[in-house]
Amino acid sequence: MSRQKIAAGNWKMNLDLEEGLQLARTISHMEIPMDVNVILGIPYVYLKSALDMLLHVPRVDVAAQNCHQAESGAFTGEVSASMLESISCPYVIIGHSERRMYFGEDSKILAEKVDKALEHDLRVIFCCGESLQTRKAGEQNSYVTQQLKESLSHLSQKQMKSIIIAYEPIWAIGTGETASPEQAQEMHLEIRNHLRESFGDEVADQMEILYGGSVKAANAKSIFGQDDVDGGLVGGASLDAEQFQTIIKSFS
């Protein structure tokens, strides 16, 4: 089974309703290659509107940007996996570096979030990645694989088939810096080898691993051309329809 090519856009806390729906509408009318799947990480308040708009659009899906680890309860302002399931949201992003950094989400919390998301039949885009300090110390490989061990090692092979991994070098998010295609390939191969050792060949060979560090129209083709890079989790460039379309068409 070949791996899916994925162009995922994380809108973060950007765009109002009209702007967001216009962007989704523009993307829905794009010519998307048959072997590429587009996933839009949309703010909670627009999720249902976007899902309704894109319901019959092939190869365009929607992701929530986070979910809580509890089923329900007194967690004002939070959104549960069951709520996402109730509106037929197919994907959720878990473990983004900004959630780890600004909201103190550690590996234990992220493992609980992954479990809850899978319990409600959501596919998980699980983020991992190292800081510049860790990269300069040459400890990036062990650091990233440890993140995966702490949050995913308890899962079964079957559960892992509902996981997509997004490698985001923290030093390259929103900084204009980007890992070279060779650096991206090196880490993606390290992740795939870890998956092979932990879950076997089938999981490793089928797992989509996305690159998530300042992907732009200008560099997407060279990054996506690497053997173990299956696409990107795109930040700012996904808010620009023209640039995102170029990224979508950047697969070799």
pLDDT of residue 175: 72
Q: How far apart are CA 224 and CA 88, in angstroms?
A: 29
Q: Going by C-beta distance under 8 Å and a sequence separation of 6 or more, which residues neighbour residue 246?
A: 217, 220
Kindly state the average pLDDT of the residues 9-38: 97
CA distance 71 to 90: 17
Question: Is 154 exposed, middle or buried, given 0-12, 13-18 or 19+ CB atoms closer than 10 A?
Answer: exposed
How would residue 192 be classed by pLDDT, with cut points 50, 70 and 90?
very high
Question: Catalytic residue among 98, 105, 130, 168, which?
Answer: 168
Is 188 considered catalytic here? no
Question: pLDDT tens digits, residue range 129-166?
Answer: 999 899 999 999 999 999 999 999 999 999 999 999 99
Give the CA distances from residue 249 to residues 33, 35, 60, 67, 166, in Å, rounded to whole numbers and listed in that order: 7, 10, 14, 30, 19
Per-residue pLDDT at 168 exceeds 90: yes
**pLDDT band at residue 191 using 50, 70 and 90 as cut-offs:** very high
1 has a pLDDT exceeding 60: no
Decide: 163 and 207 in contact? Cβ < 8 Å.
yes
Asked whether the CA dihedral 236, 96, 220, 63 is positive or negative, the reply is: negative
Residues of the chain by 3-state class (helix, strand, coil), percent to 5: 45, 15, 40
pLDDT band at 179 (very low <50, low <70, confident <90, very high): confident
For the segment 7-29, the average pLDDT, to the nearest whole number, is 97
CATH code (residue 50): 3.20.20.70
% of the chain residues with pLDDT over 90: 94
pLDDT mean over 223-231: 97
Number of domains in the chain: 1
Per-residue pLDDT tens digits for 64-75: 999 999 999 999
The contacts of residue 147 (CB under 8 Å, 6+ apart) are 95, 107, 128, 129
Domain that holds residue 175: 5-248
pLDDT of residue 177: 73
Out of 108-117, 176-185, 190-199, pick the least confident: 176-185
Cβ neighbours of 223 (radius 10 Å): 25
Verify whether residue 186 is a known catalytic residue.
no
Residue of 96, 105, 188, 208 with catalytic role = 96
What's the CA gap between 36 and 251, in Å, rounded?
A: 8
Confidence of residue 214 (pLDDT cuts 50, 70, 90): confident
